[in-house]
Amino acid sequence: MATKIDARPLVVLCAVAVAGCVNFSPLDDLETTPPPTTPFNLALYKNYAFLAKSFGLVGEAQYSSFDRSASIPLTETEITTADLANTYADKALRLTRDELVDPEPSRDIKTHELRDRLARSLAIARDVYPRDAARAQADWDCWRLNLTVHSQLQAAERCRQSLEVSLPRIEAEATVVAAEKAKEDEAKKKAAAEQGKGGAPSEISENP
């Protein structure tokens, strides 16, 4: 008489094994990862998360890893909307780990000058005007990254137009911050000089 084998434990083990091999994408991890807490990182995280989710159900990304300097390899032509969504999600997740997320690199002289303007303004004003600074960086990245996907060229143009507003705004705010810092530094120097004069030993007069 043949012995019956209960296949249910094998099914359970197979299910566990398959579950253990699942690789979640940045877009998946975005749903369960707590956001950052610093004002600028939080504002930038919200922008990236919005961009990542704006494509809806995008399917599986072709690329399983993301380059830190240029999240999407711009030399490739086979770039999908799923890659783009996961790139924005990856940027958002890096902010939750307190990593520095720089604006996307430029590819020509004209855009290089624009990126330099953005980087200078961010360095000065992002701690004082975090929401405006985050919007400017997100506009830049949206413009540069969406250009890599043919179906997103119109979206890229909208982001470029938004950058025409957000970049001058953060530049103006950076000018204000720099001027205020210059005044504070000058006041500190003056106070230190006055303190140095007041702390000098007075002349000892002899008794008549």
3-class state of residue 55 by DSSP: coil
CA 35 – CA 43 distance, rounded (Å): 10
Tell me the residue type at 155: A
CA 157 – CA 161 distance, rounded (Å): 6
pLDDT (tens digit, 0 to 9) for every residue of the chain, 208 residues total? 555 545 444 444 333 333 344 457 899 899 899 999 999 999 999 999 999 999 887 655 554 444 444 454 444 434 789 999 999 999 999 999 999 999 999 989 989 999 999 999 999 999 999 999 999 999 999 999 999 999 999 999 999 999 999 999 999 999 999 999 999 999 999 888 888 776 555 555 555 4
91: Cβ–Cβ under 8 A, 6 or more apart, which residues?
Answer: 48, 71, 101, 141
Residue 186, H or E segment: helix 153-198
The Cα diameter of the chain in Å comes to 131
Q: pTM, whole model, 2 decimals?
A: 0.75
State the Cα torsion 77-80-84-90 to the nearest 10°: -100
